[in-house]
Amino acid sequence: MTMTPEQAAWFQGTFARLVDNVDRALQGKRDVVGLVLSSMLAEGHVLLEDAPGTGKTSLAKAIAATVQGTSTRIQFTPDLLPSDVTGVTIYDQNSHTFEFHRGPVFASIVLADEINRASPKTQSALLEVMEESRVTVDGVAHETGRPFLVLATQNPIEQAGTYKLPEAQLDRFLIKTSIGYPDLDVTATILAGAAERNPSARLSPVITTSAVADMADLAASVHVEPAVLRYIAELVEATRSDSAIRLGVSVRGALAMVRIAKVRAAAHGRHYVLPDDVKALARPVWMHRLLLDPEAEFAGTTPETVVIRVVDQIPAPQARAAV
């Protein structure tokens, strides 16, 4: 069933209240907050590539407080084991049974801090749970529940003792973005409230976790014209044939665009997706999925320039609002 205009109006109002509430803890970053919340409602995950001290933990806690969810923080280190992330089965001598002890990945919002510091084996522990929202231990599947959002961070500057994320894992992140430093006025405001160590603690919930799941289901019902779907396919194909690219956007990346474009449309009060939604999301959704040719990279080409070039080259279809 397709979303109605009335449902789109309700979604827009609720989404705006979510952004307003989170922005009280993470001041001056409404665009980033909107992107991360859109990823959560599209049931995807976020890779934050940012410098230390920009508010990544505050963002995770603020979202969890806003949706009445739980939040955990996993500090990834070289000695971290997969079981430290997912959990482990332990034999109970009293009951003579094996019991599964859940790891920190079982939360509404999981902050995977400095994910590239863990070994590839430990990084791979997140692959199943990010793709299927469940963990399989000793042949038994354990669901994480909804909502489930992984906020993974990596430091773009300090690379000593890190392991580069493989392309297959990067492809599982719906978007890649950064919070960045606040501007001068916001920084002064933050300093004025320096005595408050945990800004998210004063946030009141806006909706429940079950309502978030309902919003995600509602967003999935947003209409997408065949012409817009073809436009996305043409953009994806263009990234694969670009001379500067060794590896273009995957089918998973194209599907990710459809999912988050639906959320963006609903957040703007529409029950249909426009080509402008795709254009606005092209960089955060696709840049991290591109693998550059070494010569092109040496010449100064970046994934961002390729995405911009592709969007400029492929003509967008005529916008249609009829459903």
pLDDT tens per residue, range 217-237? 999 999 999 999 999 999 999
The fraction of the chain above a pLDDT of 70, given in percent, is 96
* Predicted local confidence at residue 52, as pLDDT: 79
Q: Cα separation of 22 and 33, whole Å?
A: 7
Confidence tier at 86 by pLDDT (50, 70, 90) = very high
- Burial 163-172, CB ≥16 within 10 A → b, else e: bebeeebbbb
Whether residue 155 is predicted with pLDDT greater than 60 in this model: the reply is yes
Confidence tier at 167 by pLDDT (50, 70, 90) = confident
* Predicted local confidence at residue 311, as pLDDT: 96
* Predicted local confidence at residue 322, as pLDDT: 46
In angstroms, the Cα distances linking 259 to 48, 174, 319 are 20, 9, 18
Rounded to 5 degrees, what are φ and ψ at 246? -90, -35
Could you tell me how many helices (H) and strands (E) the chain has, helices first? 14, 11
* Predicted local confidence at residue 319, as pLDDT: 61
> pTM of the predicted model, to two decimals?
0.91
Question: 320: alpha, beta or left, given left = phi > 0 and alpha = psi -120 to 50?
Answer: beta
